[in-house]
């Protein structure tokens, strides 16, 4: 079954790609013969509807006459669609076969099938439940226009499926399984495109945008073979559910193209680099189906290197591994190193050096690099030679494979010296240990020169030019000056004429620290070496001279320890004895007591309090307003500021004027009536 599925994937992918890529015609009689051997029905019928679809679809793609199994297969289709015990997977494959054979199915059977499929969408808990349910509804939509297959809650279904996505673009099969899969990502994209096609209303564009971002993230995990072919590989979840590169890549391509065409977001394809699109096409066009001696399809062999950076110092061995395109073990073969191209070279002598094979690790090795290989960048050209001539019919070696190699090593630093010159005469000369500890102390003025020189050689004694060779002077104030050290062959040298540099140095006299930087990716002993210092005596600063730039302050210093703050608190003033304070408090309450005594002496009573409803209400509000003013004074004493208190007092005052006027008017009118009576 696995071989059959792989054969179908290759045929469908190659057929679709060849419509746009005019390279060659990959479908030949050998493919048709292999398909007849693989998919011939046993005893006149297929073992299941899934196998039946694979066989019928393959025959259709290859233009092979279909075997006479329609009656038996259609009976299985009708029985499956009519049975209430059929699961979602069986319904899905039945509808796929029905789309090819055009079996006679009743409207009632399709209506019942749609009802079960919609129920499957509502109750789905795994990605495959959604896939079979939505896929089945799409098939019914293509086969009959009399049945309603539209989904009312398409946005909700999309979000439920989106919940299974991961941050790297892969998808999970269920929320209970944390393992993600590239193959599942392709299935998810195909399912989402089906939901969009079946949506009864417009889909949220923001949701479509997030799905486009998932596609871009998924392509960040794509892998590449040395021949430029791109492919997706799947994580090993378990032995039974693992999908190889062929299945995973086909699922992603099918899901991507379906989603882009259905959702109206073809521009998502333009966000994927052209190199990766062409690499996927190259993968499908170069892949065969592995099998036994009966298979007539060639399986490409892939040559790869565990390490492409080799050290001359560590005597690293050149190691090469050869596998099939699907990762299985290669047949008996030998690997030969044919040519070694140096950086920028287009021609190289033919070597034909055969690598030794280690059967335990299944790796071809070369103990020592070819003669003349030194530090630098190279391109190694390998060739695979099959041991058994019969294997040439089964496997494709692909000609020569070129692999970029980086060779590193320790660079020799010799004859390093720092010289102080005045005119042509040597004032002082210091030999340097590079790389190593140096402590040079020099004193110079603006009429002298500083000269640095050293030699760089590779392990084979050739001149070596690093990516960086810099000479740096740093003033005690932090102002830095960097100079590029030039070379002539092996020798690197630089001469600083201080007379011509006084303006560049901003006329800053004082101590300058000296550093030498030599670095390269292939140089294992790259260094940033302090050499010592030079005490410079430069002329005085002219009035219109350029001032040195202000030095940047390290932003992390603000988070460092701060200076300790010493604070002396003021000595509190002397307070009166506690008895005096209580006596003053008692005096504060004396006016209140006088007020109460006065009320009693005057014979205050409520005889004149209005008894009618309206006047009584105004009287109560009037006294309540006076109480509110007193309460406001308390709050002012405790927490309120003056402006807030005045605002509140203005509002309460207006209220008191209104209710007070009404109350006093009523009392006055009553008093007049009493007097007149």
| Six-digit token string for 195 | 């939901």
> Which pLDDT belongs to residue 467?
94
Q: What pLDDT score was predicted for residue 11?
A: 41
Between residues 391 and 336, the one the model is more confident about: 336
Quickly state the pLDDT bin for 110 (edges 50, 70, 90). confident
Residues 275 and 225: beta-carbon distance below 8 Å:
no
pLDDT confidence bin for 285, thresholds 50/70/90? low
Q: How far apart are CA 466 and CA 486, in angstroms?
A: 11
Structure tokens at 575: 């307070």
| 161, 141 contact by CB (below 8 A) | no
CB within 8 Å of 636: residues ≥ 6 apart? 642, 645
How large is the angle between the packed helices 2-18 and 49-62, nearest 10 degrees? 30
Is the pLDDT confidence value at 15 over 70? no
Residue 446 is encoded by which pair of tokens?
């603006």
pLDDT recorded at residue 39? 74
Distance CA 65, CA 419 (A): 90
For range 24-50, the mean pLDDT: 69
In tens, the pLDDT along 198-235 reads: 888 877 778 777 888 888 888 888 888 877 788 888 76
Spell out the SS3 assignment of 384-426: EEECCHHHHHCEECCCEEEEEEEEEECCEEEEEEEEEEECCEE
Q: What pLDDT score does 248 carry?
A: 85
Per-residue pLDDT tens for 296-307? 335 678 888 999
Q: Are 214 and 169 in contact (CB under 8 A)?
A: yes
Q: Give the percent of the chain with pLDDT over 70.
A: 88
Confidence of residue 193 (pLDDT cuts 50, 70, 90): confident
Q: pLDDT tens digits, residue range 589-646?
A: 898 888 888 878 887 767 777 878 888 898 899 889 999 998 999 899 888 899 999 9
The chain-wide mean pLDDT, for the chain, equals 83
Asked if residues 409 and 524 have their Cβ atoms less than 8 Å apart, the reply is yes
| Global pTM value | 0.46
Written as six digits, the tokens of 595 are 């007020």
Give the per-residue pLDDT at 12: 42
Token reading at 445: 């003025």
Q: What is the pLDDT at residue 33?
A: 76
Which pLDDT value is given to residue 28? Answer: 60
Buried b (16+ CB within 10 A) or exposed e, 245-277: bbbbbbbbbbbbbbbbebbebeebeeebeeeee
Alpha-carbon Rg for the chain, nearest whole angstrom, is 46
Per-residue model confidence as pLDDT tens digits over 39-86: 777 666 777 888 888 888 877 777 777 777 788 888 888 888 888 888
Stronger pLDDT, 56 or 439, i.e. the higher one: 439
pLDDT for res 522: 94
CA pair distance 199, 157, nearest whole angstrom:
10
- Cβ count near 503 (within 10 Å): 11
pLDDT at 450 over 70: yes
The answer, yes or no, to whether residue 176 has pLDDT greater than 90, is: no
Band of the pLDDT at 287, cuts 50, 70, 90?
Answer: low
């Amino acid at each position: 079954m696995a071989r059959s599925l792989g054969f179908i994937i290759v045929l469908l992918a190659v057929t679709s790609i060849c419509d746009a890529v005019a390279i060659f015609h990959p479908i030949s009689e050998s493919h048709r013969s292999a398909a007849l051997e693989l998919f011939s029905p046993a005893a006149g019928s297929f073992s299941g509807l899934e196998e039946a679809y694979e066989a019928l679809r393959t025959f259709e793609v290859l233009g092979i006459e279909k075997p006479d199994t329609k009656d038996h297969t259609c009976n299985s289709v009708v029985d499956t669609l009519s049975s209430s015990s059929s699961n979602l997977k069986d319904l899905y494959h039945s509808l796929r076969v029905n789309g090819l054979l055009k079996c006679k199915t009743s409207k009632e059977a399709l209506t019942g099938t749609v009802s079960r499929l919609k129920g499957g969408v509502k109750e789905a808990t795994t990605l495959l439940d959604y896939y079979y349910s939505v896929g089945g509804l799409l098939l019914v939509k293509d086969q009959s226009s009399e049945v309603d297959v539209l989904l009312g809650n398409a946005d909700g279904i999309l979000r439920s499926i989106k919940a299974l996505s991961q941050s790297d673009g892969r998808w999970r099969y269920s929320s209970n399984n944390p393992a993600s899969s590239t193959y599942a990502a392709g299935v998810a994209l195909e399912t989402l495109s089906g939901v969009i096609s079946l949506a009864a209303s417009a889909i949220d564009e923001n949701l479509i945008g997030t799905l486009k971002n998932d596609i871009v993230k998924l392509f960040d995990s794509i892998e590449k073979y040395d021949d430029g072919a791109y492919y997706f590989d799947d994580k090993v979840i378990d032995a039974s559910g693992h999908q190889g590169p062929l299945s995973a890549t086909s699922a992603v391509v099918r899901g991507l193209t379906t989603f882009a065409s259905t959702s109206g977001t073809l521009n998502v394809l333009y966000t994927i680099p052209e190199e990766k699109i062409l690499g996927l096409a190259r993968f499908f066009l170069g892949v065969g189906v592995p099998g036994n001696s009966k298979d007539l399809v060639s399986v490409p062999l892939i040559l790869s290197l565990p390490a492409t950076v080799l050290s001359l110092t560590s005597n690293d061995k050149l190691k090469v591994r050869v596998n099939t395109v699907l990762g299985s073990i290669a047949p008996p073969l030998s690997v030969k190193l044919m040519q070694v191209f140096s950086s920028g070279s287009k021609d190289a002598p033919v070597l034909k050096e055969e690598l030794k094979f280690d059967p335990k690790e299944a790796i071809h090795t070369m103990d020592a690099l070819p003669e003349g290989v030194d530090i630098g960048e190279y391109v190694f050209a390998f060739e695979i030679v099959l041991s058994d001539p019969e294997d040439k019919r089964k496997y494709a070696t692909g000609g020569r494979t070129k692999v970029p190699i980086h060779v590193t090593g320790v660079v020799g630093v010799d004859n390093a010296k720092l010289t102080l010159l005045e005119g042509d005469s040597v004032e002082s000369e210091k030999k340097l240990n590079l790389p190593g500890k140096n402590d040079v102390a020099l004193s110079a003025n603006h009429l002298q020169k500083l000269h640095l020189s050293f030699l760089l050689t590779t392990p084979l004694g050739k001149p070596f030019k690093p990516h960086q060779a810099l000479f740096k002077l740093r003033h005690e104030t932090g102002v830095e000056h960097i100079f590029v050290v030039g070379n002539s062959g092996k020798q690197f040298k630089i001469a600083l004429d201080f007379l011509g540099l006084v303006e560049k140095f901003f006329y800053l006299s004082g101590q300058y620290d000296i550093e030498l930087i030599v670095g390269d990716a292939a140089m294992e002993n790259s260094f940033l070496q302090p050499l010592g210092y030079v005490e410079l005596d430069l002329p005085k600063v002219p009035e219109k001279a350029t001032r040195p730039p202000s030095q940047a302050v390290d932003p992390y210093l603000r988070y460092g320890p701060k200076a300790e703050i010493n604070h002396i608190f003021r000595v509190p003033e002397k307070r009166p004895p506690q008895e005096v304070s209580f006596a003053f408090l008692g005096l504060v309450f004396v006016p209140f007591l006088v007020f109460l005594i006065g009320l009693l002496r005057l014979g205050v009573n409520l005889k004149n309090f209005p008894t009618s409803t309206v006047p009584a209400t105004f009287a109560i509000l009037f006294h309540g307003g006076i109480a509110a003013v007193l309460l406001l004074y308390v709050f002012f004493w405790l927490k309120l500021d003056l402006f807030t208190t005045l605002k509140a007092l203005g509002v309460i005052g207006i209220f008191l004027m209104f209710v007070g006027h009404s109350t006093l008017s009523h009392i006055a009118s009553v008093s007049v009536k009493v007097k007149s009576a």
